[in-house]
Amino acid sequence: MKEQKLFKKIVSQNNEFERTPVPASQLKSGKSFLGMYAGEHTAGTEFVIGPLFVAHGVSAGDLFLGLFIGNLLAVLSWGLMTGPIATKKRLTLYYQLERITGKSVVNLYNFINALMFCFLAGSMIAVSATAVGIPFGLEMPTLSDWYPKTPGWIVAVMIMGAVITLIAIRGYNQVAKFANVMAPWMILIFVSAAFAALPQLGVHSFDEFIVAAKEVIWTGVPLPGISKFNIWHIIFFCWFCNMAMHIGMSDLTILRYAKSWKYGFLSFAGMYIGHFVAWIASGILYAVFLQTNVNSQEFAPGPIAFQAAGVAGAVCVVVAGWTTANPTIYRAGLALQGIFPKTKTWKITAIVGGITSLAACFPALVMKLLDFVALYGLILMPMGAVIFADFYFADKFKFQQEQALKNNRNFTWPALAAWICTLFACLLLNYFYGLDVFFLGLPGWFIAVILFVSFSKISFPALKTKLA
């Protein structure tokens, strides 16, 4: 399918147009982006995020309104921030950063990105292991677990990790094809499982669903020991869970193939199928699990899906986890390959797979997935702000656009300093004002833009000003 071709192109080792703009002849239609976004955002993480909202005691009204607004803000971020820059410049995030701040900062960015990918893939391996462990009676992790509890869990995760790493070593192509085939079925499984789960809550009509949604599923009461979420948590999580991709600009790499800047808005397919329907559906499944396992602290997507959708549900959890983990390991490998170009791809993928499998042993990655996803976006966001400021504010505030390229340097300090100072400022906001990680992205973006513009004005004033 076209979307698979597009994605393959993007993660391909022989990445075309790595250092040149994508030519007009290579641009893709809107249909490619629509399919790709829908498939990309209906993944293994959805089996965890929906249930975690239930565990955090979100009320039904807060959830539905929060998901609607948060997803809308995410779509607008893709459409109004990423799309226009991607189609104007048609360069990858990495090359744009290199032109602004030099190769050495890009290497650091790549390293951090790879590390984040490892943890994300690790959480997906753990999710898959919860389904694979069902026939073996594996003791499942609970909401309060941070460390592996049983040797059986470690063995299951390591086996899953080894298989996924071996497949990643063999290359991306087959997995991409498999994921492509699975996407329509997986989306339907989410909806089917919700329908199968509702009668187990005594729901047989829409009116009964409204009542059950408020009183049984999203009750507004968190599970013991879990913090309470309100509508702001939902809005900001929805908006910023893919922050690295839209405001953080990593989707420049994808959207540079778009025929029109408006294609960024096509991310609505991923947001409103994956981050609306699938999160609601997986929340319903968890509510059923809690009803039938009163006082259970167990948090395992495999058994939760199995209870509602039988074997198909459990297989869906394995497939969703696998098809998310595999390309993520592959992308992490590619990011590291950028730093160590002489090391063989299979060696790097094997190392990445090893780190990922080790990380997957820790259930904390699943239980704290919301925090991790928010942190991931926050850490990479400042570099997106740098690209945004360089693109829109260089002329207005009179500093040099693409300063590393213009001055023929391997390193310029304003972007790195803005990155580090922004994260430090966010840390202070969190420490002294108790601002949750979910909310830090918004002030953080403004801090990053202001700092980068100020540092650039000091260090790289526009040529005209310099001459004057």
Partner 1 sequence: MKSILKLASFIGLVLTIIPPILFFKSVISLDSSHLYMTIGMFIWFGSAPFWINKKTDDQPDES
Kindly state whether residue 31 participates in binding partner 1, applying the rule CB under 8 A: no
User: Closer CB to partner 1, residue 194 or residue 290?
Assistant: 194
Give the whole-angstrom CA distance, residue 134 versus residue 468: 73
Q: Tokens for 218?
A: 């999203």
Asked if 347 interacts with partner 1 (CB under 8 A), we say: no
Q: What is the DSSP string of 264-316?
A: GGGGHHHHHIIIIIHHHHHHHHHHHHHHHSTT--B--HHHHHHHHHHHHHHHH
Is residue 196 a contact point for partner 1 (CB under 8 A)? yes
Pick from 178, 261, 265, 392 the residue near partner 1 by CB under 8 A: 178
189 binds partner 1 (CB under 8 A): yes
Whether 49 and 279 have beta carbons less than 8 Å apart is answered as yes
Instruction: Choose between 4 and 456: whose C-beta lies nearer to partner 1.
Output: 4
Q: Work out how close the CB of 384 gets to partner 1 at its nearest, in angstroms, rounded to a whole number.
A: 28
Nearest alpha-carbon partner for 216 in 370, 57, 48 = 57
208 vs 371 by CB, closer to partner 1: 208
Which residue from 184, 156, 196 is spatially nearest to 306, judged by alpha carbons?
Answer: 196
Q: Per CB under 8 A, does 193 bind partner 1?
A: yes
Classified as helix, coil or strand, 34 is helix
CA end-to-end span of the chain: 56
Nearer residue to partner 1 within complex by CB, 200 or 296: 200
Contact region with partner 1 (CB under 8 A), list: 188-196, 245-253, 264-272, 438-446: 188-196
Question: Using the rule CB under 8 A, is 25 a contact of partner 1?
Answer: yes
> What secondary structure letter does DSSP report for 219?
B
Q: Which residue has the tokens 């565990």?
A: 55
Which residues on adjacent β-strands are paired with residue 219?
A: 59
For residue 11, state whether it binds partner 1 (rule: CB under 8 A). Answer: no
Q: Could you please report the per-residue DSSP string of 80-114?
A: IIIHHHHHHH---HHHHHHHHH-HHHHHHHHHHHH
**Spacing of C-alpha 335 from chain mean position:** 16
Q: Is 192 in the site for partner 1 (CB under 8 A)?
A: yes
293 in contact with partner 1 (CB under 8 A): no
61, 199, 202, 224: residue in contact with partner 1 (rule CB under 8 A): 199
A 10 A CB-CB count for 108 gives 14
Residue 201 binds partner 1 (CB under 8 A) = no
**Of the listed pieces 99-107, 184-192, 295-303, 398-406, which binds partner 1 according to CB under 8 A?**
184-192
Residue 202 in contact with partner 1, rule: CB under 8 A: no
Per-residue mark of binding to partner 1, 295-334 (x: CB under 8 A): --------------xxxxx-x-------------------
The most distant pair of C-alpha atoms in the chain lies apart, rounded to whole Å, by 77
- Residues near partner 1 (CB under 8 A) are 1-2, 4-5, 25-26, 28-29, 177-178, 180-181, 184-185, 188-189, 191-196, 198-200, 203-204, 309-313, 315
